[in-house]
Chain A
Amino acid sequence: MTHRSESDPGVFTNLRLELRRGCLTVAVLAALRTEQYGYTLRKLLEESGLSVDEGTLYPLLRRLETQGLLVSEWREHAKRNKRFYRLSETGATILAQLVVELRSIDTSLNKILSEPIHGIA
């Protein structure tokens, strides 16, 4: 059996991506309680400390719209047509449930991390 080094940045990057993937969905849904178009949404997330590349964000917006969590419409803004997204009613319900779940995970994680480390007797 081979072990990758603890300092292998690839391992950390992959785990970080996995960790962020679910949180990003919650963040996008939360940010879209106010109507945004793709570019401004990305900037908003970035300013909140959650930078995300376009290649991830736009397909995610489409998936969430297909799942009925977002609604979108093309509208003129600053003399150009842009696609605006906002949270749907279903999206708001799901967001509330996800936030509860996220907080529950956070509480559990804090509890586990605060417990002293002990081995198996």
Chain B
Amino acid sequence: MELLDRYLQAVRLFLPSSQQDDIVRELSENLISQVEDREEALGRRLSEEEQADILRRHGHPMVVAGKYLTQQHLIGPALISIYLFTLKIGLATALVVTALIAVIGTILHGEPVQHAVEAFLAYPGRAFFIFGWTTLVFAALEYTQAKLSFTTKWDPRKLPKVVWAEHRISRANSLLEFIFSIACAAWFTLIPGGPELLLGPAAGFLSLAPVWDLVFVPIIALVLASAALSLVNFIRPYWSSSRSLCRMAIHSGALFLSVVLLRAGEWVTAKPGITLPDGSSPDVFVSIVNTSFEIGVFVAMIISVVEIFREFRRWKSRRKQSSPSESTPARIAM
């Protein structure tokens, strides 16, 4: 019965240690009974191949042992959906963080290709870290799931409101908006200490006008508010009235800052006592840059007005659709 001993040894390896002896003893007895019955029927001892056939039909040692485990899966059906959702959020966050590190690194030190390559190489490690920890935490939750009651004690009235297809927000867009907003916030934060980030080489003979000291902090605050909204949109990807109002508030803030900037009339000034390389006065250049700024701020103002108007219409339309009489199940986003 060498084959049987080898088989039982293999099964034992995967059994819970507290039950190994008992289960193996029982399996052994039952398999021996089976072999003896077969031998009695044939009137001879079984060949090695015939014994192997009985064991093969009994099942692979790992599968046989697995059936004795009380928990046969790492994450079960009750938690799998929230596990996958958390994993997606975690992996996307790791992607955002990686992209931000690359963007900030590029802003601070240049060399965008090097930073992009570093980010590309760093992401698998971060993703694996997120995957490992998320899986570990959910496996622990699964293990203690009996103590959790959220799948049995829940209130259907607390489920999210119905989302219409046209209210859906693309998660990819939200993610890009978030990355772009954070990069902009970082860029604006660095401009007061390094005006060349805004003015380029012209920072050698141009200074930012005093109005910028007034608007930098509000601009950064608005951009961060926009980033926060993108993050919320990423997590809950559908428009709601409150989020429309937030968006309108952000565009109104941008409009207000555009007006403040436009009223200043001057956005850059020439540094005192500096002439251009050809010996001429930088006044003409200052005038060209100021005109460019004026056009830019004016365009930004118009964009803000258009966006406020569009968002207001969307808000009104969403409020109308929220009323039960307007409900059309066919348009529910699935």
Contacts and interface: CB of A to CB of B under 8 A. Distances in A.
A38 B63 CA distance: 19
Interface residues of A, number: 16
Q: How would you classify the secondary structure of chain A's contact residues: helix, strand, loop or mixed?
A: helix
- Chain B CB count within 10 A is highest, among A37, A39, A74, A80, for A39
A53 B57 contact: yes
B29 A59 contact: no
Contacts of B27: 54, 58
Contacts of A33: none
A86 B27 CA distance: 18
A78 to B, nearest CB: 9
A53 B30 contact: no
Contacts, number: 46
Interface string A29-72: 00000000111001000000000011110110010000000000
Contacts of B34: 39
A21 interface: no
Contact of B30 (A54, A56, A62, A74): A54
A81 B32 CA distance: 11
Contact of B59 (A39, A42, A54, A74): A54
A62 B16 CA distance: 13
A54 B26 CA distance: 11
B57 A56 contact: no
B30 A38 contact: yes
Contacts of B23: 58, 62
B63 A58 contact: no
Contact of A55 (B25, B32, B58): B58
A31 B29 CA distance: 20
Contact of A58 (B30, B32, B37): B30
A62 B33 contact: no
Interface string B35-79: 001000000000000000000011100011001100000000000
Given A55-B63, A56-B67, A80 B26 contact: no
Interface of A: 37-39, 42, 53-56, 58-59, 62, 74, 80-83
Given A39-B29, A55-B59, 7 more contacts: A37-B29, A37-B30, A39-B37, A59-B68, A80-B32, A82-B33, A83-B26
